[in-house]
Each structure stands twice: as C-alpha cells, then as structure tokens.
C-alpha cells in the first residue's frame, strides 16, 4: 500500500472510521481507497476535523464499486479572478434591468435603449441579494469555512433573477459556526431590505400607461408596510400611477428573506434551527410542506385562489428540500442562550416578511 504525502493523515490514523487498503495521488488530490466502518455521516464527522487540521477538506464517494476518501486542499480565500461569479453577476444585472424596465412601464423589446432607466430597480434587487450572500460569506470567512463567493442566478421572470447562492465546500466545524453562517445572511438581507424600502417609498411614483408593465398586484408584508408607515408614505396610488419600482426591490428582499428562513433542507432557516435544536429539526421541517399546502388550500377555498398556486409550488419544493439535507456540524456543542435568543428574534423578523398573498395576477 502506498503512503500518503507527509502533510496528509496516514492510513493508520483513519482506522477507527475507515479501513484503507490503497492510497493514490491524483493531481492535487489524495485518494484513500477502502471500506467505511460506519455510515457516511459518522465517518465524515469523525475524519473531517483530522483533515481540516492538516489544511484539507475530505469527501466520501463511491467509484466503480470502491469507496474513496478524497482529500483536497482547503482554500477559504479567493484564488484568482472568479470569472464564473462575475459572468453570472453581469447576466443577472442584465435580466434585472430587463424586468425592471417593465415595472417602469417600458417595453424592453420595443425600446431596448431605455433599459438603463431601470437601473434603480436593478440596483435595489442586486444590493439586497448581494448583502444577504456577503453576510454568509463574511461569517464563513470568520469561522474559516471553505465557501465560495456568491453565484447570482439570472432568470427572465418578474424580478429578473432566482436569487443567489453560496457553495459551502466542506463540513461546518461547529454548531456555533453553522448558526453564525446561517443567520448572517437573513439579518444582513433584512437590513438591506429596510434601507431599499425606505429609499423606494421616498421616491415619487411612476406613471404607467394602461396595460403596460407586469399584470400583477403585489401584497406587501408587515415589514414593508411598517417602513412606509413610519415615513408617512403611501403604497397605493390612483389608476395610472404605480409605486416606485425601488419599493418592488424592497418587496423582493422581504419575500426572499421569508422563503430563506423556512426551516427546511439547506435553507437558512434550517441551518439556524439545526444549530439551535440539533436533530429535532428533522421533525420540524416535515411540517413545512404541510403548512404551506394548508395555506394554499385555504386561499383556494376562501380567497378566490389568490396566490394559492405559489404556495402549492413551494409545498412541493419543501418536500424536495427536506430530502436534500446538508451535512451537519462536526462539533455538536450547544450554541448557548445568546444565540438562541438571536434565533428567536430572526424568525420573528422573518414572520414580518410574510404575507399570504404576495403576488396576485390581475
């Protein structure tokens, strides 16, 4: 059997979780071939701290009938220019401009030269998403978690995007790190949402010709309505006038925050709840699709079906997400009462971002 390089764990040090019968070097990877002596999660829980202390992250795969532990060098920082991230950001800027033009009553296909008029909307949406994801990234760096920069997701829909994500490339070292990483995004995004909403309601409404712009009516959650009320600004206007599209960007921030705080799968709410409550999260997350489906049924029966389809889709997605649970932390020590209180406050703020009819076709 080959020996691992000097800076990698020797096969003997893995013996309690993984029996190794061969070690190979493949480019920048060290591959340990053998047999796991426990289930996958237990093996990785036991071995991740050992590899992490040597500067590596480890994964367990199965190739052509053999189990393989793959060790790769950790790189929490940014190596070179992240061209994929940049390209996706530019593409998302373009699609949010396209979507924003419609909120300003401009047909982007008939008048492409007027796309730049939608820059306030695009800036508002991109700012909320960027601040949310950079909240995750900053706390990830603080806890030395190997995570990517944000990947923005362009999509030609009502708001021009499907959001943004960060890829975590290793197991989070502790429940405290998982909590901080999970809660930082929603709290940062909420702060950005309040600022964008305050700017939006302070800007003048826009004149929109009959039939122009998206044929939808937005339902504003308590957070958005509260910001408008504090500033003494309206959210509804007479026919032919619409709220400034920057307010729509604030609505996007609130809606995205609520969805992210659903305690299911790998959403932020599940990270926060898993860090606080541990394995009890597994029982809670299966209630989410039931509640969402119940909400859809109520809206269908008593509210003329307003937004019922939206919540039914999310009920199905919640079932899918619940089956895609992310890896837990390697250190299971409790997060403490301070973080628990922050978790409660975060979910309360998330509830202020909820409205039963966020989007209604008109």
Confidence category of residue 97, pLDDT binned at 50, 70, 90: very high
Q: Tokens 């957070």, residue?
A: 223
What is d(CA 223, CA 196) in angstroms, rounded to the nearest whole number? 12
Per residue in 152-199, pLDDT (tens digit) is 999 999 999 999 999 888 888 899 999 999 999 999 999 999 999 999
Residues 6+ apart with CB under 8 A from 284: 263, 273, 277
Three-state DSSP class for residue 17: coil
Model pLDDT, residue 350: 97
Would you give the DSSP letter of residue 174?
A: B
Half-sphere exposure of 29 (CA within 13 A, CB side): 11
Max mean pLDDT among 15-24, 181-190, 234-243 falls in 181-190
Phi, psi of 86 (to 5 degrees): -65, -45
What is d(CA 90, CA 126) in angstroms, rounded to the nearest whole number? 11
* Mean pLDDT within 7-16: 86
Q: Are strands 29-36 and 56-63 parallel, antiparallel or unpaired?
A: unpaired
Q: Which residue has the higher pLDDT, 171 or 2?
A: 171
Spatial CA neighbour of 38 closest among 46, 48, 30: 46
What is d(CA 303, CA 60) in angstroms, rounded to the nearest whole number? 49
* Mean pLDDT within 319-344: 87
Residue 79, pLDDT above cutoff 80: no
Phi, psi of 207 (to 5 degrees): -85, 130
Q: Among positive and negative, which fits the CA dihedral 199, 205, 207, 208?
A: positive
Task: Spell out the alpha helix ranges (H) of the chain.
Answer: 40-53, 83-103, 119-142, 175-202, 222-230, 245-260, 268-277, 281-285, 287-302, 308-322, 337-351
Q: Among positive and negative, which fits the CA dihedral 76, 82, 86, 88?
A: negative
Per residue in 265-283, pLDDT (tens digit) is 989 999 999 999 988 888 8
Residue 133 CB neighbour total at 10 angstroms: 24
Exposed (0-12), middle (13-18) or buried (19+): which is 81, by Cβ within 10 Å?
exposed
CATH 3.90.1070 matches 11-73: yes
Structure tokens at 29: 């990877």
What are all long-range contacts of 265-268, with beta carbons under 8 Å and residues at least 24 apart?
Answer: 265/318, 265/320, 265/321, 265/322, 265/323, 265/324, 265/325, 265/326, 266/321, 266/324, 266/325, 266/326, 267/321, 268/182, 268/183, 268/185, 268/186
Model pLDDT, residue 245: 97
Confidence category of residue 54, pLDDT binned at 50, 70, 90: confident
Would you give the DSSP letter of residue 3?
A: P
What is d(CA 251, CA 357) in angstroms, rounded to the nearest whole number? 12
Residue 329, pLDDT above cutoff 90: no
Question: Which residues in 50-73 are b (16+ Cβ under 10 Å) and which e?
Answer: bbbebebbbbbeeeeeebbbbbbe
pTM of the model: 0.90
Sequence ranges of the domains in the chain: 11-73, 83-361
Residue 144 CB neighbour total at 10 angstroms: 13
């Amino acid at each position: 059997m080959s020996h691992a390089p000097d800076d990698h764990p020797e096969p003997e040090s893995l013996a309690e979780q993984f029996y190794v019968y061969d070690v190979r070097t493949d480019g920048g990877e060290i591959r340990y071939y053998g047999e796991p002596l426990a289930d996958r999660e237990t093996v990785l829980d036991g071995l991740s701290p050992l590899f992490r202390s040597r500067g590596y992250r480890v994964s367990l795969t199965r190739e052509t009938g053999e189990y393989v532990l793959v060790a790769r060098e950790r790189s929490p920082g940014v190596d070179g220019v992240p061209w994929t991230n940049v390209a996706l950001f530019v593409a998302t800027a373009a699609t949010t401009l396209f979507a924003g033009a419609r909120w300003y009553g401009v047909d982007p296909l008939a008048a492409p030269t007027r796309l730049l008029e939608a820059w306030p909307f695009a800036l508002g949406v991109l700012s909320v998403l960027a601040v949310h994801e950079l909240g995750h990234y900053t706390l990830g760096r603080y806890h030395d978690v190997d995570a990517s920069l944000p990947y923005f997701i362009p999509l030609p829909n009502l708001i021009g995007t499907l959001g943004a994500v960060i890829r975590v490339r290793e197991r989070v070292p502790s429940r405290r790190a998982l909590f901080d990483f999970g809660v930082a995004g929603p709290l940062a995004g909420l702060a950005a949402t309040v600022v964008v909403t305050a700017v939006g309601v302070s800007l003048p409404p826009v004149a929109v010709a009959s039939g122009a712009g998206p044929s939808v009516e937005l339902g504003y959650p308590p957070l958005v309505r509260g910001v408008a009320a504090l500033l003494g600004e309206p959210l509804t206007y007479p026919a032919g006038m619409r709220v400034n599209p920057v307010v729509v960007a604030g609505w996007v921030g609130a809606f995205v925050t609520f969805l992210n705080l659903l305690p299911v799968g790998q959403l932020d709410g599940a990270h926060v709840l898993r860090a606080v409550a541990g394995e009890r999260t597994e029982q809670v997350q299966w209630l989410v699709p039931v509640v969402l489906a119940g909400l859809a049924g109520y809206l269908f029966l008593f509210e003329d079906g307003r937004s019922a389809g939206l919540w039914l889709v999310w009920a199905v997605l919640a079932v899918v997400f619940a089956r895609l649970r992310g890896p837990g932390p390697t250190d299971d020590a409790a997060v403490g009462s301070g973080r628990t209180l922050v978790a409660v406050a975060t979910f309360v703020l998330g509830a202020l971002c909820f409205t039963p009819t966020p989007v209604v076709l008109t």
